[in-house]
């Protein structure tokens, strides 16, 4: 049985999408559930309000899934409220997450796997966030193409507490235009209405799609696609990643007009533009998804933003805090996953000199740690000689009374050199 969905561009505006009937049967079919469980298990994550972790939930579902499935199919299932968790943001602020129970994450993931193939093809080609086959790097490349074409002014829009302010009624209205299966609509509404457990009390709201649920990113794209389509209709060039949108224009005056338009469009969705983080500005040096664009000899290039580099150093300092009594080998092993992940994400950077500087900074820091672990005097002398340092170098470093950071430069670079760090397994950026 096919579940066709028409292209938004080709359908009349008053004609709803037909995402098919019987979607719940497809969502909770055995094979789809197996794939959903693999995804939930791979994502790990904390327990919800029921206190059950992934392994405990697996045991629970062995005996209770038949009952839960029957409730889902009959429309009487009631999701648990989410558990509020506050995590620090890299910029020093805080982000509130709503953690569903593992059972509800499984149900949402199973539903997502059925809905996403139907809805995703209807979204704008300028939208990149939380979509299969698209990534933040793709969005950065698209932004670079827009600026390279001469659109060097950006309308950078950040929505204020977007996921907390998603209007349930507006969102459900947009969903009904795309999905005709009423059982799915009712279940999604039940998740939106489940509320948040705060200090033992369930608080309910007419707004919010908790970050932490598998369905939330898809629902966000459904809501924001309306703005994307209006920008396309007006011929604007833009890139959107989740609630972070950049529109590229050729003049500051044009940018101000676009900013006013966006504020009106978002206001219709009961969303607010964050004035402190939004601006009409030069596209060069403006941060987008951790990257900045810069110009060299008339060519637009990509770079990890200064803020991203600063956060990288802060994280390395945390991993290499000197009071933990670990060997340098242990530190290098712990650093490896983080450096590899950072390198993979910022691999589009076209600033080799910056990467070399970061490499040198990491090695300098690790040399200082190693020197401090050895101490001054005989131990340092003996270790350096064992590594092949000549007598003069070993004596000079071992007898130096400078601070560890300064003493870890100069002659020590020749002994604890790049090849030595390679043998240690320290990942290079450059």
105 vs 211, higher pLDDT: 105
Least confidently predicted of 239-243, 284-288, 365-369, 390-394 = 390-394
Report pLDDT for 323.
Answer: 57
Residue 331: pLDDT band (50, 70, 90) is very high
14 vs 307, higher pLDDT: 307
Q: Which domain holds residue 112?
A: 8-268
Least confidently predicted of 84-93, 235-244, 295-304, 316-325 = 84-93
The whole-number average pLDDT for the span 220-239 is: 98
Q: What is the 3-state secondary structure (H, E, C) of the chain?
A: CCCCCCCHHHCCCCCCCCCCCCHHHHHCCHHHHHHHHHHHHHHCCCCCCCCCCHHHHHHHHHHHHHHHHHHHHHCCCCCCCEEEEEEECCCCCEEEEEECCHHHHHHHHHHHHHHHHHHHHHCCCCECCCCCCCCHHHHHHHHHHHHHCCCCEEEEEEECCCCCCCEHHHHHHHHHCCCCCHHHHHHHHHHHCCCEEECCEEECCCECCCECECCHHHHHHHHHHHHHHHHHHCCCEEEEECCEEEEEECCHHHHHHHHHHHHHHHHHCCCCECCCCCEEEECECCCECCEEEEEECCEEEEEECHHHHHHHHHHHHHHCCCCCCCCHHHHHHHHHHHHHHHHHHCCCCCCHHHHHHHHHHHHHHHHHHHHHHHCCCHHHHHHHHHCCCCHHHHHHHHHCCCCHHHHCCCCHHHHCCHHHHHHHCCCCCC
Report pLDDT for 20.
Answer: 47
Give the total number of structural domains in the chain. 2
Same domain, 236 and 334: no
> Considering the domain boundaries, does residue 110 fall inside one?
yes
Same domain, 228 and 347: no
Same domain, 316 and 258: no
Same domain, 100 and 151: yes
Same domain, 222 and 354: no
**Domain end residue (candidates: 209, 244, 268):** 268
Report pLDDT for 371.
Answer: 83
The whole-number average pLDDT for the span 301-319 is: 96
Same domain, 133 and 257: yes
Same domain, 263 and 358: no
The whole-number average pLDDT for the span 3-31 is: 58
Average pLDDT, the chain: 89
> Considering the domain boundaries, does residue 2 fall inside one?
no
Same domain, 395 and 264: no
Report pLDDT for 233.
Answer: 98
> Considering the domain boundaries, does residue 359 fall inside one?
yes
> Considering the domain boundaries, does residue 348 fall inside one?
yes
Report pLDDT for 285.
Answer: 86
**Domain end residue (candidates: 246, 268, 290):** 268
Same domain, 239 and 194: yes
> Considering the domain boundaries, does residue 293 fall inside one?
no
> Considering the domain boundaries, does residue 322 fall inside one?
yes
Report pLDDT for 156.
Answer: 98
Same domain, 204 and 327: no
pLDDT beyond 80 at 9: no
Report pLDDT for 412.
Answer: 78
The whole-number average pLDDT for the span 40-67 is: 95
pLDDT beyond 90 at 89: no
The whole-number average pLDDT for the span 42-58 is: 95
> Considering the domain boundaries, does residue 411 fall inside one?
yes
Same domain, 254 and 323: no
The whole-number average pLDDT for the span 3-23 is: 43
The whole-number average pLDDT for the span 72-87 is: 93
Report pLDDT for 1.
Answer: 27
Instruction: Give me the percent of the chain exceeding a pLDDT of 70.
Output: 91
Instruction: Give me the percent of the chain exceeding a pLDDT of 90.
Output: 72
């Amino acid at each position: 049985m096919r579940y066709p969905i028409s292209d938004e561009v080709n359908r009349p505006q008053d004609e709803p999408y037909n995402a098919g009937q019987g979607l719940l049967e497809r969502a909770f079919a055995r094979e789809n559930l197996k794939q959903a469980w693999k995804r939930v298990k791979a994502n790990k994550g904390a327990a919800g309000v029921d206190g059950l972790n992934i392994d405990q939930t697996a045991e629970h579902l062995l005996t209770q899934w038949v009952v839960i499935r029957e409730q889902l199919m009959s429309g009487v299932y009631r999701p648990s409220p989410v558990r509020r968790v506050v995590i620090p943001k890299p910029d020093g602020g805080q982000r509130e997450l709503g953690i569903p129970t593992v059972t509800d994450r499984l149900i949402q993931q199973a539903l997502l796997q059925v809905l996403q193939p139907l809805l995703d093809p209807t979204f704008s080609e300028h939208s990149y966030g939380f979509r299969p086959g698209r990534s933040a790097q793709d969005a950065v490349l698209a932004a670079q193409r827009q600026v390279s074409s001469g659109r060097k002014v950006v309308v950078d829009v950040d929505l204020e507490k977007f996921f907390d302010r998603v209007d349930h009624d507006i969102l459900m209205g947009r969903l009904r235009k795309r999905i005709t299966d009423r059982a799915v609509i009712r279940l999604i509404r039940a998740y939106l209405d489940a509320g948040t457990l705060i200090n033992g009390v369930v608080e309910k709201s007419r707004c919010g799609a908790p970050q932490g649920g598998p369905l939330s990113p898809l629902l966000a794209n459904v809501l924001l696609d309306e703005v994307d389509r209006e920008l396309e209709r007006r011929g604007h060039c833009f890139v959107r990643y989740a609630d972070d949108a950049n529109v590229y224009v050729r003049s500051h005056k044009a940018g101000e007009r676009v900013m006013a338009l966006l504020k009106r469009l978002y206001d219709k969705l009961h969303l607010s533009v964050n004035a402190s983080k939004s601006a009409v500005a030069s596209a060069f040096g403006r941060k987008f998804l951790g990257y900045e664009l810069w110009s060299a000899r008339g060519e637009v290039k990509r770079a990890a933003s200064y803020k991203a580099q600063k956060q990288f150093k802060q994280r390395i300092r945390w991993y290499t805090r000197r009071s933990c009594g670990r060997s340098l080998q242990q530190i290098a092993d712990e650093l490896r996953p983080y450096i590899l992940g950072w390198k993979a994400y910022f691999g589009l950077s076209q600033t080799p000199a910056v990467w070399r500087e970061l490499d040198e900074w990491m090695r300098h820091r690790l040399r200082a740690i190693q020197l401090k672990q050895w101490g001054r005097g005989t131990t340092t002398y003996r270790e350096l000689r064992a590594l092949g340092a000549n007598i003069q170098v070993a004596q000079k470093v071992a007898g130096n009374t400078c601070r560890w950071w300064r003493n870890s430069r100069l002659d020590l670079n020749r002994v604890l050199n790049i090849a030595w760090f390679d043998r240690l397994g320290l990942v290079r950026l450059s």
